[in-house]
Amino acid sequence: MAPLAERYARGALMGVLNVTPDSFSDGGAFADLETALLHGRRMAAEGAAIVDVGGESTRPGARPGSAELELARVLPVIAGLAAEGIPVSVDTSKAEVARAALIAGAVLVNDVTALRGDPEMASVIADAGADLCLMHMLGEPRTMQDAPTYRDVVAEVESFLAERTEVAVAAGVREERLVLDPGIGFGKTPEQSMTALARLGELQSLGFPLLVGASRKRFISTVTPSEPHQRLGGSIAAHLLAAQNGARMIRAHDVAETVQALRVAAAIREQG
C-alpha cells in the first residue's frame, strides 16, 4: 500500500461508526449489524475515505470492557464493509481486537492510548504493515478529565507524540504508516482543547500527517450551550480551522456536511 501521506494527500475524512451502546453522541444508534453496515456504506458514499469502527466508548469516565465483547461488536461490521471495498479502521487499544480486525480487512489501527494500552499492540501492527494513528491523551478515559494540567499543552502534546512515534518505529512500524492526533477532549479542558486546535500548526514540525477529531465534543458546548447532536456547526468550524492549520485527516460523525464544508473551503483557498 502507498504511504498514508500519499493516499490522503488531498485531505481525507474519517467517518465515525460507533458500534457501542454508550458512546457520548451516538451510543446505541448503530448497535445492530444491518444498521451499522448501512451507516458505514452511507458515509463512504458521502465521501468518507475511511470508516472508523469502534466497539468501546472512550468518553470521559468510561471503563474498559472485554476483548470478546469488543470483537463481537466490531468484527462483523469490519468484515462486511471491507468485503465491499470500503477502507476501514478499527478504534481499539487492544492487540487482540486489532489483530482480528486487520485479518478481517481493516487497514488502520486507531489507538487512543498510542500503544500504551497493550504491550502486544505495536508488533501486531508492525507485522501486518498496517497504518497507525497515535493519539495524545493525558491519563486514561476513566480519569482523564480530573483537572488536567499542563505547563504548555501544545509543547507537551508535541513531545508526547514525538516519543510515541519513536516507540512505534522502534517496534517495527514504518514511519510512512503513521498519523498523529492531538486528542481533542482527551485529558484536556475545553480551553486546552481549543488551544490545541488554534496552535495545531506547531505539530507539523513533527513531520507526520495530522488527524483531528473535534466532532460533537464538549468544548463546543462551552462556547454555545448545546447537546452533542446540536454541535454540527461548531464541529465544522473546528474542523475547517484544523484543516487550515495542517490536519490531513478529519474524524467526524456528520460526513456529508463536513465533506462539503472542507471542499468549499479548499476551493475558495485555491482561488486566493
Of 58 and 259, the one with the shorter C-beta distance to ligand HH2 is 58
Of 64 and 76, the one with the shorter C-beta distance to ligand HH2 is 64
Task: Enumerate residues 80-99 that contact ligand HH2 by CB under 6 A.
Answer: 91
Tell which one of 12, 15, 24, 98 touches ligand HH2 (CB under 6 A): 24
In angstroms, what is the minimal distance from the CB of 111 to ligand HH2?
8
Map residues 176-205 to x or -, x wherever contact with ligand HH2 holds by CB under 6 A. Answer: -----x-xx---------------------
Of 57 and 165, the one with the shorter C-beta distance to ligand HH2 is 57
Of 85 and 189, the one with the shorter C-beta distance to ligand HH2 is 189
Q: What is d(CA 38, CA 134) in angstroms, rounded to the nearest whole number?
A: 28
Tell which one of 43, 57, 194, 248 touches ligand HH2 (CB under 6 A): 57
- Of all residues in the shown chain, the one whose CB is closest to ligand HH2 is 213
DSSP string, the chain: ---HHHHTTT-EEEEEEE--S--TTTTTTT-SHHHHHHHHHHHHHTT-SEEEEESS--STT-----HHHHHHHHHHHHHHHHHTT--EEEE-S-HHHHHHHHHTT--EEEETTTT-S-TTHHHHHHHHT-EEEEE--SS-TTTTTS----SSHHHHHHHHHHHHHHHHHHTT--GGGEEEE--TTSS--HHHHHHHHHTGGGGGGG-S-EEE--TT-THHHHHS---GGG-HHHHHHHHHHHHHTTEEEEEES-HHHHHHHHHHHHHHHHH-
Residue 251 among the catalytic residues: yes
Number of shown-chain residues binding ligand HH2 (CB under 6 A)? 21
Task: Enumerate residues 211-230 that contact ligand HH2 by CB under 6 A.
Answer: 211, 213
Task: Enumerate residues 112-171 that contact ligand HH2 by CB under 6 A.
Answer: 112, 133, 135
Which is the catalytic residue, given 217, 218, 231, 248?
A: 217
Active site residue ranges: 217, 251
Interface with ligand HH2 by CB under 6 A: which residues? 16, 18, 20, 23-25, 54, 57-59, 91, 110, 112, 133, 135, 181, 183-184, 211, 213, 251
